[in-house]
Amino acid sequence: MKKQLLVILLFLTFIHCYSQDTTNQYKINYYNQKVVKYLDREKMLSNYYKIDKEGIKIYATPAHKLNDSVEFKIKWEQLNEFNACIREGKNAAYFSSRKHGSIQSSAIKGDKTANYNHLKPLSGLKIAIDPGHMAGDFETGKLEMKSLNFKKDSINGLPDSIQIAEGMLTYATAILLKEKLEADGATVFLTRQKNGYTAFGKTFDDWLKDDYKNKVEELHKSGKLSTDKKNLMLSSKFTKRNKFLFFKDIELAKRADIINAFNPDFTVIIHFNVDETNTGWKAPGNKNYNMTFIGGAFMPGDLSSQEKRFEFLRMIATKDIEESILLSGASTEKFESILKVKTAGPTDAKYLREGCLTTEKKGVYCRNLQLTRYIHGPLVYGETLYQDNINECKALNKESDKTKNERIKEVAEAYYSGIKAYLNQGQ
Ligand SMILES: [Zn+2]
């Protein structure tokens, strides 16, 4: 009898270990495949990470991996805890219950169940919108090199001259989308508070007046700028365009910071595209595509700082990539059906061929942009239509107040429908 019991006990122990092993084996395969598929663009980053029976490990350099000296390590049993730390638990639980259609009080903390309102189906949801670039006028668009200026050319079908600044289009789209989402009860945060404003709550010209000098001196003091560089930057030799290029990265970092501080359920980044092969954008072209970007596709050299390696780890260990594919996939489908513009395939632009990884959703590409890298949580980085397309530029040129432009209204509607389709998946 005793012997029998021992055999049963041994058998149970074996079953327990075996199931533990198979679960971990499943995770090891899943996360290793995920890195290869979405994160490691050139298949050259294997010396920076290891995913094995213990968990996920990140190394600062290949030499550190050889010595097994880890920089970050998440054991399998810590994976949920890590995810909860990255995304505040309350929002994540709420979001997953809402997305799958069952409003379970156990999943939603506080009074969110009591507040559920069928007339306001997005109440309780926090959405961040980043209207790309900053121009509120054509001159600033020129400074950013995010503008089009086509001369009137009746022979080639341009009855009027065209002046478009992308920052004005993205801001108007964001305002229209915000109105739609708020009407459904969502709480919406915009990184730019006014047309022409930057993420610093002021225009670029005001930032130059108020903050430029201090920022240069601050970076010099902290050792990030040499004295020569500082002196050059404060001299008249440093052009406004030079100052803008310095400002651009600082401002993108600010956008990611304020979005992460808002802790949204997801983020929508709005851009309008151009045909990169239409050199100099001196005349309209015929190409027109939509596409969306999400995080991933790290290149060799993209793991040079601890901050970047942390984001690499976050993308491996959270569902941010998986959810971004769903959000972006739903958006891309709506871009095509509502705007009547084709979705870009993986060979339709140089940066898609050379800097991106494809996903299982048509038109959704992993790309390691500053915002797709640093913004936490699911996101869609939309690049709707080509502004330099002959028909689009004529449509976008109408109305000085772009929120009244019919084409911009359609773009806002396409984002809105994409978001709704994403939220209704699985219901
Ligand atoms: Zn853009």
Single-letter amino acid code for the residue at 260: N
Instruction: Please state the rounded mean pLDDT for residues 359-372.
Output: 98
Task: Choose among 205, 310, 197: nearest CA to 255.
Answer: 197
- CA of 269 from ligand 1 middle (Å) equals 10
| Spatial separation of the C-alpha atoms in residues 270 and 420, rounded to whole Å | 17
Reported as type and span, the H/E element at residue 357 is strand 357-358
3-state secondary structure 30-54: HHHHHHHHHHECCCCCHHHEEEECC
Pairing of strands 266-273, 379-386: parallel
pLDDT in tens, 114-147: 455 667 899 999 999 999 999 999 999 999 999 9
Would you say domain 119-424 falls under CATH 3.40.630.40?
A: yes
pLDDT of 150 > 80? The answer is yes
pLDDT of residue 91: 38
pLDDT of 67 > 50? The answer is yes
Burial of 238 by CB count in 10 Å (0-12 exposed, 13-18 middle, 19+ buried)? Answer: middle
Domain regions of the chain by residue span: 2-86, 119-424
- CA of 145 from ligand 1 middle (Å) equals 10
- CA of 132 from ligand 1 middle (Å) equals 6
- CA of 65 from ligand 1 middle (Å) equals 38
- CA of 5 from ligand 1 middle (Å) equals 69
Instruction: Please state the rounded mean pLDDT for residues 37-50.
Output: 97
Radius of gyration of the chain (CA): 24
Instruction: Please report the sign of the dihedral spanned by the C-alpha atoms of residue 381, residue 422, residue 83, residue 116.
Output: positive
User: Helices (DSSP H) in 263-319: which residue ranges?
Assistant: 306-317
| Spatial separation of the C-alpha atoms in residues 77 and 82, rounded to whole Å | 10
pLDDT in tens, 176-229: 999 999 999 999 999 999 999 999 999 999 999 999 999 999 999 999 999 999
- CA of 92 from ligand 1 middle (Å) equals 29
State the DSSP string of 107-143: TS-TTTTTT--TTSTTTT-EEEEEE-S--SSHHHHHH
pLDDT of 61 > 90? The answer is yes
pLDDT of 9 > 90? The answer is no
- CA of 170 from ligand 1 middle (Å) equals 8
pTM of the model: 0.89
Six-digit token pair at 191? Answer: 């990184």
Helix (H) and strand (E) counts for the chain? Answer: 16, 12
Q: By 3-state DSSP, what share of the chain in percent is helix, strand and coil, each rounded to 5?
A: 50, 15, 35
Pairing of strands 147-150, 162-165: antiparallel
State whether residue 13 is helix, strand or coil.
Answer: helix
- CA of 271 from ligand 1 middle (Å) equals 4
pLDDT in tens, 231-255: 999 999 999 999 999 999 999 999 9
- CA of 198 from ligand 1 middle (Å) equals 14
- CA of 252 from ligand 1 middle (Å) equals 12
How many CB atoms lie under 10 A from the CB of residue 365? 26
- CA of 272 from ligand 1 middle (Å) equals 5
Reported as type and span, the H/E element at residue 148 is strand 147-150
Six-digit token pair at 216? Answer: 């240069």
Task: Choose among 245, 267, 258, 274: nearest CA to 351.
Answer: 274
How many CB atoms lie under 10 A from the CB of residue 333? 21
Instruction: Please state the rounded mean pLDDT for residues 399-409.
Output: 97
| Spatial separation of the C-alpha atoms in residues 18 and 412, rounded to whole Å | 52
